[in-house]
Amino acid sequence: MSTVQRSTDGYTAFTNTSDCLTSSVGRDDRQVPMRDPVVERGPVVARRTMRVLIVDDDRALRDGCASALRLDGYDVVALANGGEAIALMQRSRFDIMLVDVGLTPVSGFDVLRAVMSAAPQTLVVLMTGNPSVDSSIEAMQLGAWDYLSKPYSGTQLQLLLGRASHLISMRHREEQLLPTDDAALALGTPVPIFGSSPAFRQAIELARKVAATTASVMIVGETGTGKELLAQCVHRYSRRARQVLVPVNCAAIPDQLLESEMFGHRRGAFTGADRDKTGLLEMAHGGTIFLDELTEMSFSLQAKMLRVIQDGVVRRVGSEHEDAVVDVRFISATNRDPREAIRDKRLREDLYYRLNVVQVTLPALRERPEDVAVLANHFLKLFWARHRSPKAELPTLEADALDFLASRPWPGNVRQLQNFIEHVAVLAQPGSKIKTQHLPLEQQLTPEPGAAPLPSASMNEAYHVSKEQVLATFEKEYVTRLVARASGNMSRAARLACVDRTTLYRLLERHGFRRDSEEPPLQAS
């Protein structure tokens, strides 16, 4: 007799009471998973691309499992030795691995560590006939995707592999949707992260690599550079992507409330605590928690967070015992230099080392002016679609307007540029050509907070002498930043400054710059 079950990932399974086969190998009776012909899962075409490696020293279990999966359309390789599995995995790609914990002399945990080091995108399922809480926790901490207790039924195996195949297929579809343009690196988010500058590409590639691991990540960058968006991307491409991402802005929650929000509280712990409350750390169990503006968290609360990171133990406010053990990945972010924050006693050094396993630094927008045009055009399309009729023709930013935008310092970084372009989109006419004179310049020409003042003139000199000193200082600072902004390209620098190249070269020579080749970069002599 069969019964219908609905699994959490949408697959329908008809569980048959005889979906296992008992076989005898020596003196041991083991249940060998066999194929249930009425189990329905995702498209067969997607499953046919999945490569599965089974590593188990029990021949009956290994062969039975391999036969069942081959009948389901998987490309299966079966091995009995952990060392052979590690060697094969280094030569070939596998999407899914089923590994027995009790292998000798190379254990299943050894195989798992090797896989996570060489191919972290592989989904590893550890199998054991002696399940325990400690071994399951160790498996998850090392990066196992799931944990399967022996004996297991054919339906259990098929549903587990179906879920794994579905997740891998989703990853592949997302990767196919990524922009192929080198100027647009996207991580699959609704608002992609764009950029082609070397520093930005390096940060994104580092984020891609660390996403597939379980390591804690600290994102450092000025306000508005996209730290939260990058945190979302790291979570999205992690093995915890199907679980929750819990963001916490440590600067937005008063310190006296942040502890209760993070750890939860017991009824009666303080005035107004009329019921037990689950904290954000417990809510993030199995997933990721994002601690934004970490240095705004008090020292005392940082000490309590350290205990959670080290032991995974959560004690609610007002509780006299440990309330929960959580498995959480930590991503943190700060707009301060972490080392300076430690010196200023705003960040505990021991917490820093726990959270800063991998640090990803996002450059400020002024440090990657070549990305401004890509971002501006993206935001223009985004906000035009949001604020205008679908039939309204998209306006375009002319080259002079894009050059002007690239020349601005953007102290608010990408967020400021985004708000500026939304203003442009609201005011622009359908199909118009947006030039520099059409931009709302009053928003950008006012002095920026903290901007360097004009050089002061010496009051001991005559008016004309002091004036020349100020102008000379301004000219040298201007051409230095101009050439840097144009990456040493004199033609582009001249266009940005709205002068001809001869005038630009004259200014450079006047202030002691020399050319080492036909085309700069120039250096001060």
Rounded to whole angstroms, the Cα distance separating 276 from 409 reads: 49
Q: Give burial (CB, 10 Å; 0-12/13-18/19+) of 436.
A: middle
Between 3.40.50.2300, 3.30.70.20, 3.40.630.20, 3.40.30.10, what CATH number should domain 2-175 receive? Answer: 3.40.50.2300
Helix (H, G, I), strand (E, B) or coil at 359: strand
- 198-363 under CATH 3.40.1190.10, yes or no: no
**Helices and strands (H and E) in the chain: how many:** 19, 22
| Portion of the chain with pLDDT greater than 90, in percent | 26
Residue that wins the pLDDT comparison between 433 and 476: 433
Taking residues 47-65, report their average pLDDT: 84
Return the pLDDT at 516: 45
Taking residues 342-352, report their average pLDDT: 93
Rounded to whole angstroms, the Cα distance separating 366 from 364 reads: 5
Report residue 281 as tokens: 């750390």
Taking residues 16-30, report their average pLDDT: 33
Q: Decide if pLDDT at 360 tops 90.
A: yes
The secondary structure of residue 21, as a DSSP letter, is: E
Same CATH topology for 2-175 and 198-363? yes
Residue that wins the pLDDT comparison between 433 and 192: 433
List pLDDT tens digits, range 159-208.
888 888 877 876 666 555 444 443 344 333 433 567 778 888 889 888 88
Q: Decide if pLDDT at 291 tops 90.
A: yes
**Reported pTM:** 0.54
Q: What is the mean pLDDT of the chain?
A: 77
Question: Where do the H-state alpha helices sit in 49-147?
Answer: 59-71, 82-91, 108-118, 133-142
Helix (H, G, I), strand (E, B) or coil at 358: strand
Q: Give burial (CB, 10 Å; 0-12/13-18/19+) of 321.
A: exposed
Q: Decide if pLDDT at 444 tops 70.
A: no
Q: Which residues of 196-223 are buried (b: 16+ CB within 10 A; e: fewer)?
A: ebeebeebbeebeebbbbbbbbbbbbbe
Rounded to whole angstroms, the Cα distance separating 51 from 91 reads: 13
List pLDDT tens digits, range 383-404.
999 898 888 999 999 998 898 8
Determine the length of the chain: 525
| Portion of the chain with pLDDT greater than 70, in percent | 77
Rounded to whole angstroms, the Cα distance separating 516 from 108 reads: 59
CATH class for domain 366-443? mainly alpha
Rounded to whole angstroms, the Cα distance separating 396 from 392 reads: 13
Q: Where are the domains of the chain?
A: 2-175, 198-363, 366-443, 463-524
Q: Decide if pLDDT at 27 tops 60.
A: no
State the CB neighbour count (10 A cutoff) for residue 182: 8
**Looking at the domain that runs over 463-524, which CATH code has it been given?**
1.10.10
Return the pLDDT at 92: 86
Taking residues 135-148, report their average pLDDT: 77
Poorest-pLDDT segment among 50-59, 325-334, 465-474: 465-474
Residue 146 phi, psi dihedral angles, 5° rounding: -155, 175
Rounded to whole angstroms, the Cα distance separating 482 from 484 reads: 5
Amino acid identity, residue 286? G
Helix (H, G, I), strand (E, B) or coil at 94: coil
The secondary structure of residue 297, as a DSSP letter, is: S
Residue 474 vs residues 247, 287, 489: alpha-carbon distances, Å: 44, 52, 21
Residue that wins the pLDDT comparison between 20 and 360: 360
Residues 40 and 12: beta-carbon distance below 8 Å: yes
- State the pLDDT confidence band at 104, using cuts at 50, 70 and 90: confident
Strand partners, 51: 75
Q: Decide if pLDDT at 417 tops 80.
A: yes
Rounded to whole angstroms, the Cα distance separating 313 from 308 reads: 5
Rounded to whole angstroms, the Cα distance separating 476 from 91 reads: 57
